Structure 1
Amino acid sequence: MKTICFFTGTRAEYGLLRPLMKAVQATPGMRLRTLVTGAHLAESQGHTWREIEADGLPIDERVEILQDGSTDTSVCTAMGLGIMRYGESLKRLAPDLLVILGDRFEALAAAAAATVCKVPIAHIHGGELTLGAMDDAFRHAITKMSHLHFTSTEAYRRRVIQLGEAPARVFNVGALGVENIKALPLASRQQVEQRLELPPDQPYFLVTFHPATLDAQPPREQLEALLGALDAFPDHVCVFTGANADPGGGELNRLLALSAQARPGRFRFSMSLGVTLYLSSARYASAVIGNSSSGIIEIPSLGVPTVDIGTRQEGRIRSDSVLHCEPDAAAIEAAIATAIGVDFRKLAASASNPYDRPGTSRSIIDAVLASNLEALREKPFHDVECTGPGT
């Protein structure tokens, strides 16, 4: 029996992990454990641990790490608490494998704790680039502490190998979020309108905007530019989901809450819609707008245009259905106008998604079952042959 522990600290990453967690729960020879932390346990982030329980999944360890505020120093404190407390949890859980998805600061702390506690790590979504966020460095650091790698495209698989990981341990499995779209029973348009309190056939945008943590321009200024651009489309309601717990995220959420109060007819604000309602809402939106990874990775499979703003997702492979623009009001307005035009909507409806690969969860489970998890602890360094100048 292999005990597989899933680490989850945010609503977004849990939404991606959920089908894999359920598949592990149903697989003979596997025992599911969970370590739930970070934004899940914060009231300001919507107490999204409730979604895990509502899905019938266990919460084996709850680890509080977030402090009041979302500043650089509070993130550093949370990381320190995470390393200390995650180590204690891992000792109690004694997993054979820890599954970590992505690139956030909580995930880096968990990977560090697992390394010290001699717990092998399976890392999902390694090899990607997000040049506008500190998560970019965290992701590659987690790769170097991990023992099995499940990437979302072949290009990312090659990049993980370039980082020195043995090719036999790196698998291109596609994106779990795309699998979600295919597997989840998405709501009808009428059900979405009821949940979002929208009039029948009301056009709307689905908007998520996180801090770009490496940008010199303050996150608030970028969000204000986005709000100004949205004012140019008064016939569309704007459905906002909350920013994450990165530095500056709290300020963005306060601004969104105030904006929704000031314009109740046009703005809707919710910290979290949950994965099913989020994807269902995206399915009928005129466009998905902001700088969330979901706009790059999952939304193209719905045939809906994405307007990606600023540097946060810069470097990711993207579908033809994704438009990029700078974080100023004029550029955002122009990109939205293009996105909702007849020609671009037709293009988006037929565009392929580079993250789409069948059987993502099954591929991950099969690779884990076939692995000698004890032997994974010893990691070779795979040298890539260099043929360029200076070699």
Structure 2
Amino acid sequence: MKKICVVTSTRAEYGLLKPIILKLQSKKNFDVRVAVTGAHLSPEFGLTYREIVKDGIEINKKIEMLMSADTPAAISKSMGLGLIGFADYFLESRPEGVLLLGDRYEMLAVACAAMNEGIPIIHLHGGETTEGAVDDAIRHAITKMSYLHMASTETYRRRIIQMGEAPDRVFCVGAMGVENAMHTTLLKKSDLEKVLQMDLDVPYAVVTFHPVTLEKDSAKIQTGELLEALDAFPDWKFIVTKANADKDGRIINRMLDSYASNHKNIKVFDSLGMTRFLSAVKYSRMVIGNSSSGLIEAPSFHVPTINIGDRQKGRIRADSVIDCLPEKKDILRAMKRAEDTGFRKGLVNMDNPYGNGETSDKIIKILDARLLGAEVNLKKRFYDMG
């Protein structure tokens, strides 16, 4: 039996990892330990670890690391706390594999601790590019520390190999977000209205806006432009999820709360959880913001995405994604296009470039072969593509 540690630090990340955790737990050959950190443990971000408990998943360890500020220095200190906490945890628990998703600074700290302890890292969503965020550099750094790579598209698989990783350890498995969108039992619209305590009797949009961490002091200005664009739709409703625990995320969240206090057609949530979020996207007219969910999950519902600014720049897009500048005028242009009847008809038979919804089964099959059925050798040669 192999002991696998799955680490999660945010609401969105947990939603993606949940099916993998549940399926691994059902396998006799794996002993799954879930470690929770970051925003999950913060009252300010909704204490979202409670969603994990509610799903019946046992939390093996809670590791505090999030500082009460989102300045660059505070984030560096949070990473330091995370590195110390996970160094102790890995020394104590001795997992034989650590499963990490994505590109956040919390995961970089975890990866460093696992690397130093000689624990194989299984990395999801490597090879992608998000040119507007520091996540881009973090993602590539984790790739170079990882033993097995689970890419979401063939393009990203090739890019990981281009970074020197051996092809026999790099796999194209699709995106967990697509699997969730295709296979999660979603709420009926009437039930969604009840749990959100909102009447969704008019067109509505789902909004998530995060700071663009490689831009200096842009969060306040860009959020203001977005909110001014929403002002042009007084007859619509807006379901808004708050920004994550990135640099300047608290600036955005304060502005959202202030706006909602003066506008009856908007409701702001710390977290919706996967089922409520995907249900909200399914019935919406469009998704607005700069979250990866607009590029990965929303296309599975054939719902248009207004992708604002550079945070997701470089990521592969479906035909449903409309890029725009972080300016009121251009956001309104994009929203108008998303409402165009011809544009919407063109999305009916659209394919999602992030896979067919069988990602977790592919990952577990690979883990069966590469962690259970083969010797793990952490000595890596740099693979030259020639």
TM-score range, shorter chain: over 0.9
Give, in whole Å, the separation in 1 of the partners of 2:11 and 2:32: 19
Give, in whole Å, the separation in 1 of the partners of 2:313 and 2:126: 15
Correspondences of 1:93-132 after superposition (within 5 Å) = 93-132=93-132
Answer whether contact 2:200 2:237 (CA < 8 A) is retained: no
Equivalent residue, structure 2, for 1:270: 269
Correspondences of 1:194-213 after superposition (within 5 Å) = 194-213=194-213
What per-residue deviation string (whole Å, max 9, x for no partner) do you get for residues 316-344 of structure 1? Answer: 00000000000011000110111122222
Equivalent residue, structure 2, for 1:17: 17
What per-residue deviation string (whole Å, max 9, x for no partner) do you get for residues 15-41 of structure 1? Answer: 000000000001121111011000000
SS in 2 for 1:4: strand
Give, in whole Å, the separation in 2 of the partners of 1:201 and 1:27: 44
Correspondences of 1:222-261 after superposition (within 5 Å) = 222-261=222-261
Q: CA deviation at 1:217?
A: 5.1
Equivalent residue, structure 2, for 1:379: 380
Give, in whole Å, the separation in 2 of the partners of 1:310 and 1:349: 26
How many residues are matched? 384
Which letter maps to 2:377? L
Q: CA deviation at 1:235?
A: 1.4
Equivalent residue, structure 1, for 2:146: 146
What per-residue deviation string (whole Å, max 9, x for no partner) do you get for residues 180-205 of structure 1? Answer: 11221101111112222232532111
What per-residue deviation string (whole Å, max 9, x for no partner) do you get for residues 120-145 of structure 1? Answer: 10000000000000000000000000
Shift in alpha-carbon separation, 1:229–1:358, aligned structure 2, 3 A: closer
Answer whether contact 1:212 1:219 (CA < 8 A) is retained: yes
Equivalent residue, structure 1, for 2:289: 290
Give, in whole Å, the separation in 2 of the partners of 1:211 and 1:309: 11
Residue 92 of structure 2 is aligned to residue 92 of structure 1: yes
SS in 1 for 2:240: strand
Give, in whole Å, the separation in 2 of the partners of 1:40 and 1:283: 25
Give, in whole Å, the separation in 2 of the partners of 1:182 and 1:19: 12
SS in 1 for 2:322: strand
Give, in whole Å, the separation in 1 of the partners of 2:208 and 2:124: 23
Equivalent residue, structure 1, for 2:156: 156
Give, in whole Å, the separation in 1 of the partners of 2:292 and 2:15: 13
Residue 336 of structure 2 is aligned to residue 342 of structure 1: no
Answer whether contact 2:182 2:357 (CA < 8 A) is retained: no
Give, in whole Å, the separation in 2 of the partners of 1:316 and 1:147: 23
Residue 182 of structure 2 is aligned to residue 182 of structure 1: yes
| Structure 2 residue ranges without an equivalent (≥5) | none
Answer whether contact 1:215 1:311 (CA < 8 A) is retained: no
Correspondences of 1:43-122 after superposition (within 5 Å) = 43-122=43-122
Give, in whole Å, the separation in 1 of the partners of 2:53 and 2:198: 28
Which letter maps to 2:335? I
Which letter maps to 1:37? T
Which letter maps to 2:260? A
Answer whether contact 1:223 1:252 (CA < 8 A) is retained: yes
SS in 2 for 1:251: helix
Answer whether contact 2:176 2:357 (CA < 8 A) is retained: no
Which letter maps to 2:343? F
| Structure 1 residue ranges without an equivalent (≥5) | 386-391
Q: CA deviation at 1:358?
A: 4.2
Shift in alpha-carbon separation, 1:217–1:69, aligned structure 2, 3 A: closer
Answer whether contact 2:180 2:357 (CA < 8 A) is retained: no
Q: CA deviation at 1:348?
A: 2.7
Shift in alpha-carbon separation, 1:248–1:201, aligned structure 2, 3 A: same
Answer whether contact 1:33 1:93 (CA < 8 A) is retained: no
Give, in whole Å, the separation in 1 of the partners of 2:357 and 2:286: 26
Q: What CA RMSD, in Å, does the superposition of the two structures yield over aligned residues?
A: 1.1
Answer whether contact 1:239 1:267 (CA < 8 A) is retained: yes
Equivalent residue, structure 1, for 2:368: 369
Q: CA deviation at 1:349?
A: 3.1
Equivalent residue, structure 2, for 1:33: 33
Give, in whole Å, the separation in 2 of the partners of 1:343 and 1:194: 33
Give, in whole Å, the separation in 2 of the partners of 1:142 and 1:168: 18
Q: CA deviation at 1:352?
A: 1.2
Answer whether contact 1:302 1:349 (CA < 8 A) is retained: no
What per-residue deviation string (whole Å, max 9, x for no partner) do you get for residues 265-323 of structure 1? Answer: 21100010000000000000110000000000111001100000000000000000000
SS in 1 for 2:123: strand
Which letter maps to 2:137? A
- After the TM superposition, which segments of 4 or more aligned residues of structure 1 sit over 6 Å from their partners? none
Q: CA deviation at 1:14?
A: 0.6
Answer whether contact 1:304 1:349 (CA < 8 A) is retained: no
Residue 173 of structure 2 is aligned to residue 173 of structure 1: yes
* TM value normalised by structure 1: 0.96
SS in 2 for 1:194: helix
Give, in whole Å, the separation in 1 of the partners of 2:193 and 2:336: 23
Shift in alpha-carbon separation, 1:217–1:345, aligned structure 2, 3 A: farther
SS in 2 for 1:62: strand
Q: CA deviation at 1:114?
A: 0.4
